[in-house]
Amino acid sequence: MKSFIDAVKDGRKGMVIRNSVFLPFHCELLSIWVGKEMSLVSAPDVISDLSDCGQVAVREGESYTNIVLKRWGDLPKELGHHKGHIILHAAEKGADIFAPGNLHYIRIGFIDHGKELSLEIIDDPFDL
């Protein structure tokens, strides 16, 4: 399994089906931010409760991670066409989440054609 840093560097893409996001890597999730493109009045929804009864379901296949955002109906419709994005605050699978150098922000963008998702490592989620 590739690390998410390698997957992003290699130009791998994710996939979305309604409220279900498929990523070509595994990771240790700390939080998920879902938001419209930033303006002075908008703020993203921050989801840190990743438990079974929360707003998010996470499952791992052999070569992917599937994140289902239960509160949203159709992510491409709501966030596509440059209207928004998802940001994962994560570490590599098995990495020490208490070491600040291991934590990264992964921006998931909605490509306007099909079900493809773009992936990007960003330094500051407030500077988009």
Which domain, by its residues, includes 35?
Answer: 4-122
Residue 127 belongs to some domain of the structure: no
Residue 64 belongs to some domain of the structure: yes
* pLDDT of res. 46: 72
Residue 62 belongs to some domain of the structure: yes
Let me know: does 91 contact 97? Beta carbons within 8 Å.
yes
Domain count, the chain: 1
Write out the chain's pLDDT in tens, 128 residues. 578 999 999 999 999 999 999 999 999 999 998 877 655 556 666 777 666 667 888 999 999 999 999 888 888 888 887 788 899 999 999 999 999 999 999 999 988 767 899 999 998 877 65
Residue 46 belongs to some domain of the structure: yes
The gap from C-alpha 109 to its chain's centroid, in whole angstroms, comes to 9
Determine how many CB atoms are found less than 10 A away from the CB of residue 122: 14
